Structures are given as structure tokens and as C-alpha cells.
Amino acid sequence: MICSFFGHRDVELTEELIERTKAEIKKAVQDGCRIFYFGGYGDFDDLCYQIVTVIKNEEPDLDIKRIFCVSKEKELRKLPRGVKREDYEEMIYPNLSFDYWYTSIYYRNCAMIDDSDKVIFYVEQRENSGAYKAYQYALKKKKNVINLF
């Protein structure tokens, strides 16, 4: 099973949010999620990556895989700033058509959601937000959605 994460770029990481996020990720693992998709943008994504990594290290028998999903095929050759290959078990590019930078991220997000059995969000309603658009898409696709906002 696959779980993906989406949130706003800047998030106030309170102790309550950290604990709620840990609980949801642990529940995803208990439900059978072993593959976790990351897009690498923002505080919430970083928090989720850290939590998944701790679980992966504490329970190596679970064979948890962290997968970085790039938004442009060329990023498989030259990764976005701050992303290291050794931090992930795999890098993938969902082969989708798009017109320009912003839509590449939108379609990448849609592909991540399409593949996911569970999607964990931290989003508020902001019409111009990519995270909120991903949230709307996941609801439309009737995915198992958790919004921690």
C-alpha cells in the first residue's frame, strides 16, 4: 500500500501537530502502507519524511520505502536543490504531459494521489494553493484522505 503527503510550504510545527502526524503515519503503517511518496516541498513534507525515516530505522523488517516523486523528467538526472539520492530508496517521474512549471507539479501531485491508498494532508482552504488543489483532487477521486489542519 502507498501513502503520500501534501501540505503548505510554511507550516507552524507545533508539538500537537507533530504528535498527530506521528499517530496518522503509524496508523498508515499498521494498515499496511509500506511505500511513502514525497514531493519534497515544504515543512509538512519534511516532517512526514522525518517520521517515516524514524519508523523505517526502528522497524527494518517492515521494508518501508521512501520514494521521491520528481515533477520533471530532467530532475531524475539533476535533482532539485536539497534532495539527495541516498535519502530515498527510489526516485520516480510520473510520465504526464504539462505546459509549464506550475502544472508539472500539479500533475505530479495528481499522479501521486492516483497511486496512493492513503493521503495525509495539512491544508487549509486557500484557492491559489497547490496543496489545497491536491486536497480537492484527492476528495474528488474518493481517496482515503486525512487532513490534519
More confident residue, 128 or 44: 44
DSSP the chain: -EEEEEE-SS----HHHHHHHHHHHHHHHHTT--EEEE---SHHHHHHHHHHHHHHHH-GGG--EEEEE-SSGGGGTSPPTT--GGGSSEEE------SSHHHHHHHHHHHHHHH-SEEEEE----TT-HHHHHHHHHHHTT-EEEE--
Domains of the chain and any CATH numbers: 2-124+133-147 (3.40.50.450)
User: How does pLDDT run across 84-98, given as a tens digit for each residue?
Assistant: 999 999 999 876 655
More confident residue, 72 or 95: 72
More confident residue, 128 or 2: 2
Entry pTM: 0.92
User: How does pLDDT run across 4-54, given as a tens digit for each residue?
Assistant: 999 988 999 999 999 999 999 999 999 999 999 999 888 999 999 999 999
